[in-house]
Structure 1
Amino acid sequence: MTRYSDYSDTHSDDSRNCLIEGCKKKHAFAQFVDTKIYSKYCYKHTCGKTGSISDGYHCPIPKRESDRYCTEHMRCGESGCREIGEYPGKPGDEYIQWFCARHRCTMPRCPERAHNRQQQRCLRHFMKCTVAGCDRPCHENRDGKLDMFCAAHYGSYKTENKCIWPGCTRRKPGYDGKYCLDHKCELLDCEKSRDPKGAGKLCTLHRCDIPSCPKPIADPKIPDSHHCIDHTCNTRLCIEPRQSGSDFCPSHRCRSPHCRFEARFSKGYCIERHGCSYPMCFNSRSASLGVLSDRCEEHQIPRARRSSAADMPDPSKWERRRNRYSDDVTEAMRRREKEREQRDQPYDPYRYPNWDRYLDD
Structure 2
Amino acid sequence: MALFGEKKQRTYCHRCGDRVKKLNYRGQILRSKYCGRCFCKKIEDGRTCQWPRVNLVIPWCAEHLRCQAGGIDGGRCDRAVKENNPEKYKFCADTHNCAQSDCVYARLPDRPYCAEHLCSSPGCRDPRRGGPYPFCLKHTCQHLYCTSVVPGDSDPSSPWRFCETHRRCSRNGCSRRCHMRDSGSAANFCGEHYCQWVDGCGEERAAGAEGHWGRHRCKEAGCARGIAAYEGWYCREHECDMMECRYPKLVGDYCHSHTCQRRNCKKEARMDGFCDNHQRCEVPGCKEDRLVEGMKKHDRCDRHRHGSCQAGGIRPCSNRVVEGTHYCEDHLCGFRLCGNAKLFGCSYCEAHKCPVANCQELRQSAGVAYGGRRMTTTMGFQPLVAGYCAQHSCRHGGCDSQAMRDQFFCAVHKCSTHGCMSEGTNSARGGSAACDAHYRGQGSSQGFFSHFQPLPQFAPRPAFPFANDDFQGSFGSPDDFRPVGFDPLLR
Place the TM-score, normalised by the shorter chain, in its bin: 0.3 to 0.5
Query: Which of the pair is proportionally richer in helix?
Result: 1
TM-score, normalization by structure 1 = 0.33
TM-score of the superposition, structure 2-length normalised? 0.26
Task: Decide which structure has the larger Cα Rg and report it.
Answer: 2
